[in-house]
Structure 1
Amino acid sequence: MSTPDVIVVMGVAGTGKTTIGPLVAAGLGVPYAEGDDFHPPANIAKMSAGIPLDDADRGPWLDAIGAWAHARAGHGGVVSSSALKRAYRDRLRAAAPGVVFLHLTGDRALIGERMAGRTGHFMPTALLDSQFATLEPLGPGETGVAVDVSGSPQEIAGRAVAALRAMTAPA
């Protein structure tokens, strides 16, 4: 990628956005921003209490991620964001029209197992079903790729970088 777009690593909790995002950024030679760092304290408190965020909660968070992506336009970057609904992705695209989505996908059992094994994260496993219920996969007119999360982080990131580069390769 000579002038990389900003990549938004999306997917339900537990797909590995925080693990895969930095590996993809390193593979593309661009900076990484952790989407969770854009959440206001009220959102973190709500999720920590096991309460799913609603659209009003997500608005300022998406706007902050969108502002980061806009500032990185033409320079490249990778940022994580669940971006579960098309409306959320539309909001990110409105802020940074060139964003490309990397949708990390996987089996509910595998993702649940990985979530149960992680420590120090505010998102409880109990909210995973609400994440899957909310998820709207990439649809027509949305620029991006879906990558399965089975395998090691290095394998997943390798598949993701290859898929992203294939998108931008000249025809």
Structure 2
Amino acid sequence: MIDMAVQAEADWPADVDWEALANRAARAAIERTPQAFWLDAPVTIEVAVRLTDDAEVHTLNRQYRGKDKPTNVLSFPMVQPDLLDTVTQNSDDGEVLLGDIVLAHGVCAREAAERGIGVAEHATHLIVHGCLHLLGYDHQGDAEAEAMESIERAAMAQLGLHDPYLIDED
């Protein structure tokens, strides 16, 4: 089971069920990883999602990544990658805090407009992306990026949404 705790600031669309969206996105991401068994395990996987503004993400990005600008999504894993395979076996209370995902509204809205999609659809992709980071995926090298993007594409297709890496040549 996945337990998503979502906190949305005022700028994020109020007509979206952000918890349901985040839950679907995280489930679609996890299903395509070696941790898919978690979804049927007798534990609760906890992920906190904060939908905030560019200023807060800018501060976090500078503080934790040394980058003095806002970005679309930040992920803060709580489980070391080498412990992912056994973390559900070592849970005393049946809960595993996987980590936090933080999205910047302004960056997300601008990117969505550039792609011609809605903010909720782009946020779905960013939550899939952020969840994969919580699971130890990265995109530093070409092989890592291709593996991560393949999972993201499959997750988005399952959700009936756009290919986030489709390049429009027009």
Do both share a fold (TM > 0.5)?
no
More helix as a share of residues? 1
Q: Which has the higher contact order (CA 8 A, sep 6+)?
A: 1
More strand as a share of residues? 2
TM-score between the two structures when normalised by the length of structure 2: 0.30
